[in-house]
Chains A and B, each alone.
Chain A
């Protein structure tokens, strides 16, 4: 009973699928460990200081006289307490450096390397490969194999963003003019949410992403499918949908590999239907949401760079059918 009340409070204060204290990678575990060490030590320090203040109030509020006599004893207390604080701070300092070593620098060969490029307000994700035809480009959804270290190379196309999936590691800024490297690694299969952490303009709030950790086999399957160009439309409606896509402003920003659409201003849509969310983690990828997004993107994410479209109902249905087929 008591235990469950505590754990309820705990999950209220610390839980959730986006929590620093629900680590799912060696790096996040390491940080979580340091966090709890500091939590308990600092908590104790807080309680002791407050007790000492309460003691002073309790004892001295009715004092008849100022007491200088015991000042030298107090000096000894102050010196002792300060000494303890210094020692604790040095312990934290060592913990910090050791923690950095374990979270930020991993010696590993032939790790999976992913480039993450920040855009206002979505994530471009490129799976590097020495063979150009094997390079995979996608958006807002990062698939990684479980248990394998993944090297992430970050950069930005416009302003500063910050890549952060709390279950997997701390954050790293994406700064124009810089490319930096850091690591994530998922312990278990699962979907780990992440979000931009550096203020980047209007839609900073709607710049989420998902890291999907799969067993190696499933991951390879996913990647093999992503390498393929877009599926040819198999019926007239979808063919019409492709026409709509190519004859409207969509084509000016998006790529669908295997068609004439090759612009990289917005996310690559070659395998749009395989993704779980649209608009950088803002909406579930359902036909209804997609329709709403195409027609009304400015009221869903005000200020974002995709204009709201006005399409005839037939055209919209065809476009949705086509996009829905891009598995």
Chain B
């Protein structure tokens, strides 16, 4: 201790790395689990949880296919079958597709892709995850106790109303909506702010990776669409619990109001699920063609246009209701128009492939599968936009076939491609190639075996949502084929699971950038360190890694002893100011518990809404009130700012 030597000790780079790791380390242990706020941790939880619900929804689908394997089958009665198909749709849409395609992928990938250390509002992010988890558990516990919702995933009134759905079944459904939508809305705000404010310097608006564009546009779709279903499900639950009359025609209410509100959400919902898929496709096509994507501008415009047009087609779900003909025809026109952007995107990807140097690996294989399935689903979608054809096949298995082609084709195929693509990034190891091939081919064959015959079944007059059918209808053989196909899909997904568990430990080590990809998540180690990047990157082109100058600068000047990030400006990503990100904290978890209590209690008594508010207010205040390390750190940096000024 030499008092003369006032020069600070020159610290080595290794010291800095150690400190950075210590600063961003997730809290360990059992209690630590509830305090995590880093986007990678929450993102991985979202991925795993949503995938578990994909499996559960798949099991329900398998049960339905078993029931339909022969006419007048008595395997499941109508009561159970109705709960199962309702929960299949509900689980797949609200507990798998949206949380997976939007929340999980966006939360995990977007901060990495824009080159920052954490998502904006990390505590809100943790809160959103717990709400999703608790809502999902609530509705599944309801199903397992024979209180599963049974009015279909869109719960049309009056079938779901007080007069025809006694008990609590539909209440659980309506409240599950509230849980998951609050969660999705929170993530939407986080993603918008992350993309607008936390991009790496140089990543101006015209250089956003396509995946980031996709998730950003989806965030806006969530922001404008989800309020509609929050309201319709709230009105439904109010009709059921406190005797309001929104949907009761005897007291001036209207059953079609529900349908308008539901589909004003419900159609954009399809794009909320589908647009992230398009983002994955653009990403994988570029990487495995080893070139910049063809028609970047056109792709961006297509996503924006799809986002808008998605809000103007909802009435095509209601063509059979008897709404005035000319009124319906406007929505038919919009439904035709919305196929233009998707078509143009497909042409752009084909052009990319034609100009590329293909590296045919598993992710790209899934994209080829995507082309096959999605194009077919898209074309049947155009058919459904034509009103006379729609009123024939509406509510039949033709529609079931169509939306499985679109949703599985548009979301699950790219998602599996994305799993193979990003698995090495997330875990540091590659998925096994042989098992992956089996998975792809079994799944693709099984998928087409299951759903292609459904087009025929629909044309042959089989309505959807029937728990059985009569032998003389001539639907038996096609149904049997579909059930066998579902079996193949089931095996394929099992293989995938085996592959994941095996490869996590024994897969080939991936290295930083195994595919030679161009976006920023590949510019850090695999798996990424808890601080994402040792030094924040700067960006010199649309594919940051490919386009980096030989001496591309890095950002320097962020603290290593605090969770600090760089905020940039919205359009040009010029450095603007610095922000401290919160330390691990239990409060979001407590707030989520309080909110869960509020939501569930209000199913049983309207007073739950009143008493439940107090714990929510207390936990939210605890969350907000500055304390601990967050408070101290903030004071330190503000004192330094003041000293510098």
Are A and B in direct contact (Cβ within 8 Å)? yes
Question: Residues of A with Cβ closer than 8 Å to B?
Answer: 12-21, 28, 30-31, 34-35, 38-39, 42, 45-46, 49-50, 52-53, 55-57, 59-61, 63-68, 70-71, 74-75, 77-78, 81-82, 85-86, 89-90, 92-93, 95-97, 99-100, 103-105, 120, 154, 158-160, 162, 164, 166, 169-173, 175-178, 180-182, 193, 195-205, 282, 302-303
Contacts of A154 in B (CB 8 A): 322
Residue among B156, B344, B372, B392 making CB contact with A20, cutoff 8 Å: B392
Quote the shortest CB–CB distance from B48 to chain A (angstroms).
Answer: 33
| Stretch from B331-339, B559-567, B598-606 at the A interface | B331-339
Contact (Cβ within 8 A) B355 A66: yes
- 11 A-B Cβ contacts within 8 A? A45-B379, A66-B355, A78-B351, A89-B340, A99-B386, A173-B321, A173-B322, A197-B320, A199-B156, A204-B463, A302-B77
Contact (Cβ within 8 A) B79 A303: yes
Contacts of A302 in B (CB 8 A): 77-79
Contacts of B343 in A (CB 8 A): 82, 85
Complex Cα–Cα for A195 and B462 (A): 9
B348 contacts partner chain A, Cβ-Cβ < 8 Å? yes
Residue among A66, A86, A204, A282 making CB contact with B357, cutoff 8 Å: A66
Within 8 A of A (CB), among B474-506: 474-475, 477-478
- The verdict on A197 contacting B463 (CB below 8 Å), with A45-B379, A82-B340 known, is yes
Contacts of A45 in B (CB 8 A): 375, 379
Contact (Cβ within 8 A) B354 A59: yes
Complex Cα–Cα for A193 and B461 (A): 10
Contacts of B385 in A (CB 8 A): 92, 96
Residue among A49, A170, A202 making CB contact with B346, cutoff 8 Å: A49
Contact (Cβ within 8 A) A204 B465: yes
Contacts of B459 in A (CB 8 A): 13-14, 19-21
Contact (Cβ within 8 A) B356 A63: yes
- The verdict on A18 contacting B460 (CB below 8 Å), with A38-B383, A42-B382 known, is yes
Contacts of B463 in A (CB 8 A): 164, 195-197, 204
Contacts of B344 in A (CB 8 A): 78, 82, 85
Contacts of A196 in B (CB 8 A): 463
Residue among A52, A74, A175 making CB contact with B294, cutoff 8 Å: A74
Quote the shortest CB–CB distance from B69 to chain A (angstroms).
Answer: 15
| Stretch from B216-224, B226-234, B249-257, B412-420 at the A interface | B249-257
- The verdict on A78 contacting B347 (CB below 8 Å), with A61-B360, A197-B395 known, is yes
Quote the shortest CB–CB distance from A242 to chain B (angstroms).
Answer: 32
Residue among A38, A103, A160, A169 making CB contact with B158, cutoff 8 Å: A160
Complex Cα–Cα for A158 and B166 (A): 14
Contacts of A75 in B (CB 8 A): 294-295, 351
Contacts of B346 in A (CB 8 A): 49
B388 contacts partner chain A, Cβ-Cβ < 8 Å? yes
Residue among B151, B295, B469 making CB contact with A205, cutoff 8 Å: B469
Residue among A20, A52, A103 making CB contact with B393, cutoff 8 Å: A20
Contact (Cβ within 8 A) B358 A63: yes
Contacts of B328 in A (CB 8 A): 100
Chain A residue with Cβ nearest B78: A202
Complex Cα–Cα for A193 and B356 (A): 54
Q: A12-B456, A66-B356, A160-B159 are in contact. List 12 more A-B contacts (CB 8 A).
A: A20-B459, A38-B383, A60-B354, A67-B355, A78-B351, A82-B344, A95-B386, A100-B328, A175-B321, A178-B322, A199-B465, A201-B164
Contacts of A104 in B (CB 8 A): 325
Quote the shortest CB–CB distance from B399 to chain A (angstroms).
Answer: 10
Chain B residue with Cβ nearest A301: B78
Chain A residue with Cβ nearest B250: A177
Complex Cα–Cα for A303 and B79 (A): 8
Contact (Cβ within 8 A) A199 B152: yes
Contacts of A199 in B (CB 8 A): 151-152, 156, 159, 395, 464-465
Instruction: Kindly supply a per-residue 1/0 record for chain B positions 318-332, scoring 1 wherever the CB is within 8 Å of any chain A CB and 0 otherwise.
Output: 001110010011001
Quote the shortest CB–CB distance from B516 to chain A (angstroms).
Answer: 12
Contact (Cβ within 8 A) A96 B387: yes
Total contacts A-B at CB 8 Å: 276
The 3 closest A-B pairs by CB, nearest first: A170-B391, A177-B249, A180-B322
Contacts of A34 in B (CB 8 A): 386, 388-389
Contact (Cβ within 8 A) B388 A30: yes
Quote the shortest CB–CB distance from A25 to chain B (angstroms).
Answer: 12
- The verdict on A20 contacting B77 (CB below 8 Å), with A162-B395, A180-B322, A205-B466 known, is no
Contacts of A70 in B (CB 8 A): 355
Chain B residue with Cβ nearest A70: B355
Looking at B371, B380, B389, B394, the one whose CB has the most chain A CB atoms below 10 A away is: B389
Contacts of A50 in B (CB 8 A): 371-372, 375
Contact (Cβ within 8 A) B255 A177: yes
Complex Cα–Cα for A55 and B461 (A): 37
Complex Cα–Cα for A30 and B394 (A): 17
Looking at B321, B339, B380, B461, the one whose CB has the most chain A CB atoms below 10 A away is: B461
Quote the shortest CB–CB distance from A293 to chain B (angstroms).
Answer: 15
Contact (Cβ within 8 A) A16 B383: no
Contact (Cβ within 8 A) B291 A52: no
B619 contacts partner chain A, Cβ-Cβ < 8 Å? no
Quote the shortest CB–CB distance from B551 to chain A (angstroms).
Answer: 24
Contacts of B347 in A (CB 8 A): 77-78, 81-82
Contacts of B456 in A (CB 8 A): 12-14
B593 contacts partner chain A, Cβ-Cβ < 8 Å? no
Quote the shortest CB–CB distance from B274 to chain A (angstroms).
Answer: 18
B515 contacts partner chain A, Cβ-Cβ < 8 Å? no
Quote the shortest CB–CB distance from B351 to chain A (angstroms).
Answer: 4
Chain B residue with Cβ nearest A68: B355
Quote the shortest CB–CB distance from B288 to chain A (angstroms).
Answer: 10
Looking at B249, B328, B354, the one whose CB has the most chain A CB atoms below 10 A away is: B354
Residue among A53, A120, A172 making CB contact with B350, cutoff 8 Å: A53
- The verdict on A96 contacting B156 (CB below 8 Å), with A20-B392, A50-B372, A204-B465 known, is no
B597 contacts partner chain A, Cβ-Cβ < 8 Å? no
Complex Cα–Cα for A158 and B158 (A): 8
Contacts of A173 in B (CB 8 A): 320-322
Chain A residue with Cβ nearest B353: A56
B633 contacts partner chain A, Cβ-Cβ < 8 Å? no
Complex Cα–Cα for A59 and B122 (A): 47
Complex Cα–Cα for A35 and B380 (A): 11
- The verdict on A172 contacting B382 (CB below 8 Å), with A57-B358, A89-B336, A178-B322 known, is no
Contacts of B82 in A (CB 8 A): 201-202
Contact (Cβ within 8 A) B340 A85: yes
Instruction: Kindly supply a per-residue 1/0 record for chain B positions 511-555, scoring 1 wherever the CB is within 8 Å of any chain A CB and 0 otherwise.
Output: 000000000000000000000000000000000000000000000
Chain B residue with Cβ nearest A33: B388
B468 contacts partner chain A, Cβ-Cβ < 8 Å? yes
Complex Cα–Cα for A224 and B19 (A): 95
Contact (Cβ within 8 A) B351 A71: yes
Quote the shortest CB–CB distance from B186 to chain A (angstroms).
Answer: 32
Contact (Cβ within 8 A) A74 B354: yes
Residue among A12, A18, A303 making CB contact with B461, cutoff 8 Å: A18
Looking at A64, A67, A105, A171, the one whose CB has the most chain B CB atoms below 10 A away is: A171
Contacts of B340 in A (CB 8 A): 82, 85-86, 89
Complex Cα–Cα for A173 and B355 (A): 50
Contacts of A193 in B (CB 8 A): 461
Contacts of B152 in A (CB 8 A): 199
Contact (Cβ within 8 A) A182 B354: no
Contacts of A17 in B (CB 8 A): 474
B140 contacts partner chain A, Cβ-Cβ < 8 Å? no
Quote the shortest CB–CB distance from A89 to chain B (angstroms).
Answer: 4
Chain B residue with Cβ nearest A201: B159
B129 contacts partner chain A, Cβ-Cβ < 8 Å? no
Quote the shortest CB–CB distance from B619 to chain A (angstroms).
Answer: 40
Residue among B250, B320, B461 making CB contact with A19, cutoff 8 Å: B461
Complex Cα–Cα for A171 and B336 (A): 21
Complex Cα–Cα for A46 and B374 (A): 10
Instruction: Kindly supply a per-residue 1/0 record for chain B positions 279-314, scoring 1 wherever the CB is within 8 Å of any chain A CB and 0 otherwise.
Output: 000000000011100110010000000000000000
Complex Cα–Cα for A89 and B295 (A): 22
